[in-house]
Amino acid sequence: MATCEVCGNEYDLSFTVRTPSGEEHVFDSFECAIHRLAPECSHCGCKIVGHGVNVEGDFYCCAHCARSADTAEGSKIRDTVGAHR
């Protein structure tokens, strides 16, 4: 049985996540893994669980936050859900 590094719960179904840099982290739930490993939006600070948007090296949770970057690239970002062209 392993212990979650976020909440300290000992759980027989815990799992290990290995990052690209080779670090290993043990969690008892996806919630704890997200809390520890998910990037934060550079604008609003929320955890980015989905694809997010990368603008000039900064990560954003959505197009609205990416546009807030007020850069030439950020201003071009648009949501595509439901867009028909």
Q: Tell me the pLDDT tens digit for each residue of 16-66.
A: 999 999 999 999 999 999 999 999 999 999 999 988 888 888 889 988 888
For residue 76, is pLDDT > 80?
Answer: no
Q: How many CA atoms lie within 13 A of 72 on its CB side?
A: 0
Number of domains in the chain: 2
Give pLDDT, residue 53. Answer: 87
Q: Are residues 46 and 10 in the same domain?
A: no
For residue 82, is pLDDT > 60?
Answer: no
Q: Are residues 58 and 68 in the same domain?
A: yes
Amino acid occupying residue 46: C
Q: Are residues 25 and 11 in the same domain?
A: yes
Q: Are residues 16 and 45 in the same domain?
A: no
Residues in the chain: 85
Q: Are residues 83 and 43 in the same domain?
A: yes
Report the distance separating Cα 85 and Cα 80, nearest Å: 10
Give pLDDT, residue 54. Answer: 85
Q: Which residue segment(s) compose the domain that 25 sits in?
A: 1-37
Beta strands at 53-55 and 58-60: parallel, antiparallel or unpaired: antiparallel
pLDDT band at residue 74 using 50, 70 and 90 as cut-offs: low
For residue 85, is pLDDT > 80?
Answer: no
Q: Are residues 26 and 10 in the same domain?
A: yes
